[in-house]
Amino acid sequence: MNHRIGIPDSEFVRGDIPMTKQEIRILTLAKAGIGSGDTVIDIGAGTGSLSIEAALLAKEGRVIAIEREPEGFDLIQVNAAKFKTANVEARLGAAPEALAGLPAADVILIGGSGGKLPEILGCADKLLKPGGRLIITAVTVETLSTALSNMRQRSAYSVEACCVQVTRIQQVGASNMFKALNPIYIIACNKEG
Amino acid sequence: MNHRIGIPDSEFVRGDIPMTKQEIRILTLAKAGIGSGDTVIDIGAGTGSLSIEAALLAKEGRVIAIEREPEGFDLIQVNAAKFKTANVEARLGAAPEALAGLPAADVILIGGSGGKLPEILGCADKLLKPGGRLIITAVTVETLSTALSNMRQRSAYSVEACCVQVTRIQQVGASNMFKALNPIYIIACNKEG
Amino acid sequence: MNHRIGIPDSEFVRGDIPMTKQEIRILTLAKAGIGSGDTVIDIGAGTGSLSIEAALLAKEGRVIAIEREPEGFDLIQVNAAKFKTANVEARLGAAPEALAGLPAADVILIGGSGGKLPEILGCADKLLKPGGRLIITAVTVETLSTALSNMRQRSAYSVEACCVQVTRIQQVGASNMFKALNPIYIIACNKEG
Amino acid sequence: MNHRIGIPDSEFVRGDIPMTKQEIRILTLAKAGIGSGDTVIDIGAGTGSLSIEAALLAKEGRVIAIEREPEGFDLIQVNAAKFKTANVEARLGAAPEALAGLPAADVILIGGSGGKLPEILGCADKLLKPGGRLIITAVTVETLSTALSNMRQRSAYSVEACCVQVTRIQQVGASNMFKALNPIYIIACNKEG
């Protein structure tokens, strides 16, 4: 493995855009099983932190990073330049519309859905190659519930899900304090080959 | 990345030996930053699940897996054969004694210490190369507390720690139930280069 | 407070019936705000542990404990006798049918719904007095999601929810091990007065 | 129970002083088993939120609230006035010194120790009546570790501990988001009668 996944959060440029934390990126990428030639679509890419780590894995492939907020769209490009991942293509737009015309993908990551998750899952299913992996991260009850019920109904997929709750231990003087991060649900869907 | 980290738990052969769960293996390996030529020492290797994933990353390197229980020692070899990781060397014995004569390491993983953590950390420090990574996983208050206080005192190391609590979502009929795994603390110590 | 809430789990008689753990009972009872003369309905009462603690609080009131499994129905009576709570009335049956003919309630607790949560919530709303409290505990994504979306739509209720994850610390030899209990969601709905 | 434990956090006056959250107050009070005539000592009382709920339970008893920060000392009195708990006595000072001359107690709560936990535990043991309860809440590895090892060595006490991690569900538009609170460890020590 030339690329060692798990870039520290502090190395990414970010404004006020929420960023997936290091531990969640690591687990998402591992469950995505990205190969060096893969085509990856990252929906709701935010600061691009996940897209960039994906691009370092898919180094002969490409990562299409879709983000509807102009601030995020700019940050993706700033971060892609910083990490020299020329294979990241940022696109400004909202899914599912922004998915039109995209190539078939080996991996689709969904980190944000703007309330249109069922439509996005329908489009993602069409774009995802046989044997591909669809990974949804959820921070709301609605995304968790919709993702599970929608994907469990699709017979072509095996679905497994977990909640990951990370508590950072922060040094404060001579003490080590427990500082919780928000829990994240990861729903991993493998499409049959 | 030829090897995609995150082998499902069910693929490892295990008896009654406790096994580090997939999500924790993934995070431990990512924080260890294992390179393809690295020498890795896995102390308290249990079933060998972590050793084997480490060996797949250090494919031109070697992994020395130390385990004091004969059942675990056997399972490490069974699993190494199953995953064809010829670069895993199982050793029956307890640390710190079993660390005598080992080569300098790029990465040391400590998953079990049999109540001798301070002595083991002292030996590990001597074995770890400059720039190396020492990763301790803790499932008891004592291991967490000792690892943090011992390693924070060593000026050559930067230490960061977190607790990871994974809740699996298990399908039971039409329902998706929350099933907690035990929390694990991961203490990652980077030695200055 | 004559009754001190928080009877240890081990004091209840239980068979193979799942039992709400002490910490969750305490939080459920506190959020229910049970007064000494209250009428309480406990739907899906299981072993009766929650009913009995509710009955100790509503000592001049009554607790109607509904359980569809005969084993649970028997255990409720065994536990009510053990704790001398004559104001617990066990009823064998499944909600919503078993709710027919029940008196108006100050507090309704829902610990199990057998897949009929929307119907049960509709009946519970009719039974609950103005100013009453409806507390739902959820161990599945579906119960959490349905309870939240159903109750948030009812303008007569203020709804607040949380997840509680308890990790017991268990002494094993000289060590204190972290042992996770499954997380539980508590949805507390206060009806306007 | 005239007093229903579980005052919402928002009803307490607070400045920049950290406040024990509602769910943790509830569990601490339940594990403390406060009777109506009890004498309670609250060490590191902060805003006084726990002292005030304790005083509502010990309504014929008294609660001595010790706080070393003047801002907290003032807030305790403001909150005691707001909730009309005349039986709360705020004392400005740091434990263990501030414990000198205090009466024997049925319940001692330790929410802050300023790095002097071993000394405070020694004094608390002397102040605590046979059959009394000592409850320590910990937000650092050091407090958790010290409290457990110190109290487990005292043969007069039975000790049980747990970690409580509450995640609030917060309505954001049409979504219910998971928002983690920091985990708290509760160490409950019952002194033999």
Q: What is the ipTM of this complex?
A: 0.93
pLDDT mean over C146-174: 96
Report yes or no on B3 lying in a domain: no
CB contact under 8 A, B176 and C141: yes
Q: Name every chain D residue with its beta carbon within 8 A of the beta carbon of A180.
A: 165, 180-183
pLDDT mean over D80-107: 97
Rounded (10°) CA dihedral A55, A56, A58, A61: 60
Q: State how far the alpha carbon of A6 is from the alpha carbons of A82, B131, C1, D168, in Å.
A: 16, 17, 53, 28
CB contact under 8 A, C4 and D163: no
Partner residue facing C145 (CB), from A145, A163, A183: A145
Exposed/middle/buried for B63, CB within 10 Å: 0-12, 13-18, 19+? Answer: buried
Give residue-wise pLDDT tens across range B136-159: 999 999 999 999 999 999 999 999
CATH number at residue A98: 3.40.50.150
Report yes or no on A100 lying in a domain: yes
Q: Is C158 on the interface with B (CB under 8 A)?
A: no
**What confidence score (pLDDT) does residue B30 get?**
94
Q: How far apart are the first and last CA of chain D?
A: 25
Chains within contact range of chain A (3+ C-beta pairs < 8 Å)? B, C, D
CB contact under 8 A, B183 and C174: no
CB pairs under 8 A between A and C: 15
Asked whether residue D146 carries a pLDDT value surpassing 50, the answer given is yes
Residue owning tokens 């079933």: B47
Q: Is A160 on the interface with C (CB under 8 A)?
A: no
Asked whether residue C105 carries a pLDDT value surpassing 60, the answer given is yes
Listed in sequence order, the residues at least 6 apart from D34 whose beta carbon sits closer than 8 Å to its beta carbon are C1, C4, D40, D54, D57, D58, D61, D106, D107
Report yes or no on B4 lying in a domain: no
Report yes or no on A2 lying in a domain: no
Asked whether residue D3 carries a pLDDT value surpassing 60, the answer given is no
Mean pLDDT of chain D: 94
CB contact under 8 A, D166 and C162: yes
Q: Is D160 on the interface with B (CB under 8 A)?
A: no
pLDDT band at D1 (very low <50, low <70, confident <90, very high): very low
User: In chain D, positions 124-143, which contact chain B (CB-CB < 8 Å)?
Assistant: 141-142
Mutate to test the interface with A, among D171, D178, D184 (most CBs of A within 10 A): D178
**What confidence score (pLDDT) does residue C115 get?**
87
Tokens of B185: 């603390």
- Least confident span in A3-17, C40-54, D45-59, D98-112: A3-17
pLDDT mean over A83-100: 96
Query: What is the C-alpha separation between D21 and D25, in angstroms, rounded?
Result: 6
Report yes or no on A121 lying in a domain: yes
Q: Name every chain A residue with its beta carbon within 8 A of the beta carbon of D176.
A: 140-142
Residue closest to B163 by CA, chosen among B134, B147, B139, B146? B139
- Residue C68: CB atoms within 10 A of its CB come to 18
Q: Is C187 on the interface with A (CB under 8 A)?
A: no
Q: Is B192 on the interface with D (CB under 8 A)?
A: no
- Least confident span in C39-43, D15-19, D150-154: D15-19
Give residue-wise pLDDT tens across range A131-167: 999 999 999 999 999 999 999 999 999 999 999 999 9
Asked whether residue D90 carries a pLDDT value surpassing 50, the answer given is yes
> D69: domain range?
9-191
Mutate to test the interface with D, among A140, A143, A179, A186 (most CBs of D within 10 A): A140
Q: Is A148 on the interface with C (CB under 8 A)?
A: yes
pTM above 0.80, yes or no: yes
Report yes or no on C140 lying in a domain: yes
Q: Which residues pair with C160 in a beta bridge?
A: C188
Q: Name every chain A residue with its beta carbon within 8 A of the beta carbon of D183.
A: 167, 178, 180
Give residue-wise pLDDT tens across range A32-68: 999 999 999 999 999 999 999 999 999 999 999 999 9
* Cα B95 versus chain centre, distance: 14
Residue owning tokens 């991690």: D165
Report yes or no on B1 lying in a domain: no
3-state SS class at A110:
strand
Where are the alpha helices (H) located in C35-91, listed in sequence order? 49-57, 70-82
Q: Which residues pair with D188 in a beta bridge?
A: D135, D160
Report yes or no on D134 lying in a domain: yes
Query: What is the C-alpha separation between B180 and B183, in angstroms, rounded?
Result: 9
Query: What is the C-alpha separation between A17 and A65, in angstroms, rounded?
Result: 15
CB contact under 8 A, C143 and B169: no
Q: Name every chain D residue with its beta carbon within 8 A of the beta carbon of A140.
A: 172, 175-178
Query: What is the C-alpha separation between D50 and D41, in angstroms, rounded?
Result: 11
- Domains of chain C: total: 1
